[in-house]
């Protein structure tokens, strides 16, 4: 049993795939705290974080058992990415469930400046800018696009981005810098006004 603690993550995955359940328990013990902390930090709800944590490792188990896990030497980053994707799925589903129809109200709640920060006009302008940025993001190299989306659209720290993508914080920062430079250049070429810092 003690030999499991000296094995690398990849060796444990191979051992588990061959039927050694204790190997997965060792992987779980090794990474559960950082994965759970990441989920809780993002979700900020203990019960929901626990559910997503369980789903993360169930998905990992199924993927390994089906022989679909691709050995890359980055098991922790892979598990963090599963957790990250499940969090995004949760927020996407919640957003769809919370759509409100303006037809249900007598007054125009969505265009009343006293009830919201922006009127529909200013919101439309912001949406247009975001749409323009999204279109430009598609033309970025994948590594730059990934970092930019995590930072701006998912509000992750560079430490979290580095963990999920399996690179150093400096590399994540560098990719963000080049992503912004490239987007600014594309925006200038297309005569768009953007406010990326």
Q: Considering the domain boundaries, does residue 165 fall inside one?
A: yes
3 and 94 part of one domain: yes
Q: Tell me, what's the pLDDT at 30?
A: 92
Give me the domain span that covers residue 194.
112-197
DSSP alpha helix (H) spans, 18-140: 21-43, 46-65, 75-97, 120-137
User: Cα separation of 107 and 103, whole Å?
Assistant: 9
92 and 129 part of one domain: no
45 and 124 part of one domain: no
- pLDDT one-digit tens code per residue, 105-163: 444 444 444 444 555 555 565 566 566 667 777 778 888 888 888 887 777 888 888 88
**Within the chain, which residues score under 70 in pLDDT?**
1, 73, 95-133, 187, 189-197
Q: What is the pTM of this model?
A: 0.49
Q: Considering the domain boundaries, does residue 14 fall inside one?
A: yes
77 and 171 part of one domain: no
88 and 1 part of one domain: yes
Burial class (CB in 10 A: 0-12, 13-18, 19+), 10: middle
Q: Which of 72, 99, 126 is the last residue before a domain boundary?
A: 99
Q: Considering the domain boundaries, does residue 104 fall inside one?
A: no
Domain count, the chain: 2
> Which residues fall within 8 angstroms of residue 58, CB to CB, at 6 or more apart?
none
116 and 191 part of one domain: yes
Among 123, 55, 65, CA closest to 89: 55
17 and 65 part of one domain: yes
Q: Considering the domain boundaries, does residue 27 fall inside one?
A: yes
197 and 136 part of one domain: yes
Structure tokens at 190: 């297309």
Q: Which of 64, 99, 134 is the last residue before a domain boundary?
A: 99
116 and 89 part of one domain: no
Q: Considering the domain boundaries, does residue 52 fall inside one?
A: yes
Q: CATH no. for residue 86?
A: 1.10.1740.10
Q: Tell me, what's the pLDDT at 127?
A: 62
Among 120, 82, 126, CA closest to 102: 120
Q: 80 in helix, strand or coil?
A: helix
Q: Considering the domain boundaries, does residue 107 fall inside one?
A: no
Q: Considering the domain boundaries, does residue 61 fall inside one?
A: yes
1 and 65 part of one domain: yes
Q: 154 in helix, strand or coil?
A: coil
Q: Which of 58, 76, 99 is the last residue before a domain boundary?
A: 99
4 and 63 part of one domain: yes
39 and 78 part of one domain: yes
């Amino acid at each position: 049993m003690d030999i499991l603690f000296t094995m690398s993550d990849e060796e444990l995955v191979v051992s588990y795939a061959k039927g050694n359940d204790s190997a997965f328990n060792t992987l779980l013990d090794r990474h559960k705290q950082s994965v759970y902390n990441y989920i809780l930090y993002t979700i900020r709800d203990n019960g929901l974080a626990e559910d997503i944590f369980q789903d993360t490792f169930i998905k990992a188990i199924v993927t390994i058992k089906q022989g679909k896990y691709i050995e890359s030497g980055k098991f922790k980053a892979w598990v963090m990415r599963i957790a990250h994707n499940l969090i995004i799925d949760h927020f996407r589903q919640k957003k769809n469930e919370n759509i409100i129809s303006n037809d249900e109200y007598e007054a125009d709640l969505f265009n009343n400046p006293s009830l919201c920060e922006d009127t529909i006009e200013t919101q439309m302008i912001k949406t247009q800018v975001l749409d323009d940025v999204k279109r430009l993001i598609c033309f970025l190299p994948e590594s730059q696009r990934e970092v930019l989306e995590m930072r701006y659209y998912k509000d992750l720290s560079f430490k979290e981005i580095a963990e999920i993508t399996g690179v150093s914080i400096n590399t994540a920062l560098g990719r963000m810098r080049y992503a912004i430079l490239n987007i600014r250049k594309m925006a200038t070429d297309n005569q768009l006004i953007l406010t990326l810092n």
